[in-house]
Chains A and B, each alone.
Chain A
């Protein structure tokens, strides 16, 4: 009883029914997940750009080597 009584003092708000509450909790965790995935997507774009630049540099170096030969 005492630990929960402590909580009652701290969290002074009425409990929502489980189905309603579930939506909010899900919403919060979904926001977290979405932000994480968006971050990964942005990094994926950067990776794509890096791949493109590297392949450009590789062809540049190859043509230069061919030219020297």
Chain B
């Protein structure tokens, strides 16, 4: 049962969200240079870290799927990647807003982390048409797992390559080098990171529970010999 534990998890997430927002706007000191705009950092960076970890987690579930042949791992892998793509969209939008506020442009090619993230996002965006193109369910799940593992290996290589490509003449960065952060900011950042991570886990569980419920309905339908409803999604793996 996937719904077990969902209630305490969501309550904890909601509480953490409230605490984080309070910390960001009432406790965290104002940045001397960027001013109030720097506050975007507390939502943008945790979203990006969690999204990237989520992609890697999707790859790990994919390995488990290939080794065990159990389709539930494919469902976990799919939902992890799906959730990270959504978080990824949020990363790019908040990143663009921060870029506009900081440098006056909605997009900057100078920021290696943002560019790397765009490429990773584009890579994982192809996951859906890729799954859609393979009709046989079993094969689709297997190929999707290969994709998830390949893309997972691609993420660190991509970040390294983009960073190397940065012209050494442009040293300006968003400074995700946490070594430069003063204590209070670091504390707030870590709380925000934990909150976003918790949110990701809660939403993944939420999604899996919904899929499981759909799966149970299908099972009931079959048990009752009831006429089949219209076909479900061609790509989202069934759970339960």
Contact = CB atoms under 8 A, between A and B. Distances in A.
Main secondary structure of the interface of B (DSSP, over half): helix
Interface string B167-186: 00000111101011111000
A35 B89 contact: yes
Contact-size category for A: 35 or more
B101 A60 contact: no
A16 B34 CA distance: 7
A12 B101 CA distance: 13
Contact of B35 (A3, A21, A46): A21
Interface string A22-38: 10110111011001000
Given A7-B31, A12-B172, A16-B37, A32 B43 contact: yes
A16 B101 contact: yes
A7 B33 contact: yes
Nearest to B44: A28
Given A3-B182, A35-B89, A28 B40 contact: yes
Interface in A7-59: 7-16, 18, 21-22, 24-25, 27-29, 31-32, 35, 39, 43, 46-47, 50, 53-54, 56-57
Contact of A11 (B21, B38, B47): B38
B68 interface: no
Given A32-B90, A64-B224, A10 B175 contact: yes
B214 A13 contact: no
B100 A24 contact: yes
Contacts of B102: 11, 13
Contacts of B89: 35
Contacts of B177: 10
B78 interface: no
A6 interface: yes
Nearest to B101: A24
B76 to A, nearest CB: 18
B33 A13 contact: yes
Contacts of A22: 36
B98 interface: yes
Contacts of B32: 4, 7-8
A12 B36 CA distance: 14
Contacts of B34: 7, 11, 13, 15
